[in-house]
Amino acid sequence: MFDTIKEKVANNIRLSREEGIYLYTKCDFLDLAALARQRKISLTEDKVYFNVNCHINLSNVCISRCKFCAFGVDPDHPSAYLMSREEAFAYGSKYVDSGITEFHIVSAMHPDMPFEYYLEIVSDFYKHYPKIHIQAFTAVEIVHFAKIANKSVREILTELKTAGLGSIPGGGAEILNDNIRNQLCPKKATSAEWLEVHKIAHELNIKTNCTMLYGHVESIEDRIDHMITIRELQDIAPGFQSFIPLPFLPSNTGLTEIKRSSAVEDLRTIAVARLMLDNIEHIKAFWIMLTLPIAQIALDFGADDVDGTVIEEKIMHAADVETEKGISKSRMIDLIKEAGYKPCERDTLYNIVRTF
Ligand code: V47
């Protein structure tokens, strides 16, 4: 099967489900890396993208309480917090002078906050800092807003866009299979709802990302099916900019009996995603979760993006991830150069800000 796949990759021919499963389970590790790297180079040459952003997590109080999440808590939990509109603005404003080009705003499904609270936060940032891109609210949050505001997803997205929303992040996809979602996160958006939000966003010309949370209860077949589902949506309603595989971090979650995925599995996942997702240009090695060393090696397995400088990441750190909460731009540049690639600072929409 390897020779057929190699031929297909050389001729940009789409890989089948069976070929995806073969790559994941049987293909020689370094042969897989070489194929994925070849595809990466054909798309983005030796460029590796990063951005200078700041993550703002408005609250950790969440009605969804997904089994895999160490971040969400009940309202009466001692570590429960909620930023007021003013606090959120002050928090993001602290980083403006450090050269950020993106506010990355993600929250939890708070039981009481109305949609207007989120809308006003977007509007405050946009009015004061119109040049800083606002990437905010996962599809799961958008579905929650539609429910609490009694509006359609299209209305919610249109209002957010008018207020200054630039794009939406890829979270909340987990595995797009409702049997798995019912085990892990029965209270949040279904697969169809998640896909619908991204489809409508793309129709409204709002770019989005997509993720896959792996290494919990799903099978290899489920991962490949997840990638194919995303590939099919991108065919009919293009707008996904990047795919971000997220390895499940078990500490402090409802699934502590599960062991964290190995480096080999993380790298295989990046490479398979690069080859299966032939219609998504960027594959992101999110260093916060992968760790910096694995993110660096992932560049030879097809990744062309390492996300951002981040500044004070909270969701993965609630699950005791051992990486830092943010890194400097110069460290990011050094790590990419050392791996043999050309560091390109990008904005959220992949316009190059500067190369190094
Ligand atoms: O949807 C939560 C995941 C996601 C855990 O779009 C966990 O550029 C591992 O989606 N172990 C939120 N993963 C973060 C996210 C993201 C991050 C960076 C960039 C972008 C982007 C998106 O984090 C959730 C969930 O899948 N998550 N808990 C955990 N214990």
220 SS3 class: helix
Q: Is residue 170 in contact with ligand 1, taking CB distance under 6 Å?
A: yes
Residue-wise pLDDT for 17-31, tens only, equals 999 999 999 999 999
Residues ≥6 apart with Cβ < 8 Å to 20 = 224, 227, 228, 272, 275, 276
Residue 245 CB–ligand 1 contact under 6 Å: no
CA dihedral (278, 242, 137, 293) positive or negative: positive
Whole-number Å distance, alpha carbon 30 to ligand 1 midpoint, is 28
Residue-wise pLDDT for 336-350, tens only, equals 999 999 999 999 999
Ligand 1, residue 174: give the atom nearest the CA: 26
Digit-coded pLDDT (tens) for 31-86: 999 999 999 999 999 999 999 999 999 999 999 999 999 999 999 999 999 999 99
Percent of the chain with pLDDT over 90: 90
Task: Give the pLDDT confidence score for residue 326 in this predicted structure.
Answer: 74
Question: Which ligand 1 atom is nearest residue 69's CA?
Answer: 28
Q: Is 273 in the pocket of ligand 1 (CB under 6 A)?
A: no
Q: Is 174 close to ligand 1, i.e. is its CB under 6 Å away?
A: yes
From 194, 275, 273, 279, select the one nearest 239 (Cα to Cα): 279
Best mutation site among 246, 258, 309 for ligand 1 pocket (most ligand atoms within 8 Å of CB): 246
Long-range contacts of 23-30 (CB under 8 A, 24+ apart): 23/268, 23/271, 23/272, 23/275, 23/276, 24/220, 24/223, 24/224, 24/268, 24/269, 24/272, 25/220, 26/1, 27/2, 28/2, 29/264, 29/267, 29/268
Average pLDDT over residues 216-235: 98
Q: Is-above-0.95 flag for pTM?
A: yes
Question: Could you tell me the distance, in angstroms and rounded to a whole number, from the CA of residue 5 to the centre of ligand 1?
Answer: 31
The pLDDT, as a whole number, for residue 324 is: 76
Q: Please work out whether the CB of residue 209 comes within 6 Å of at least one atom of ligand 1.
A: yes
| Burial classification of residue 353, based on how many CB atoms lie within 10 Å of its CB (0-12 exposed, 13-18 middle, 19 or more buried) | middle
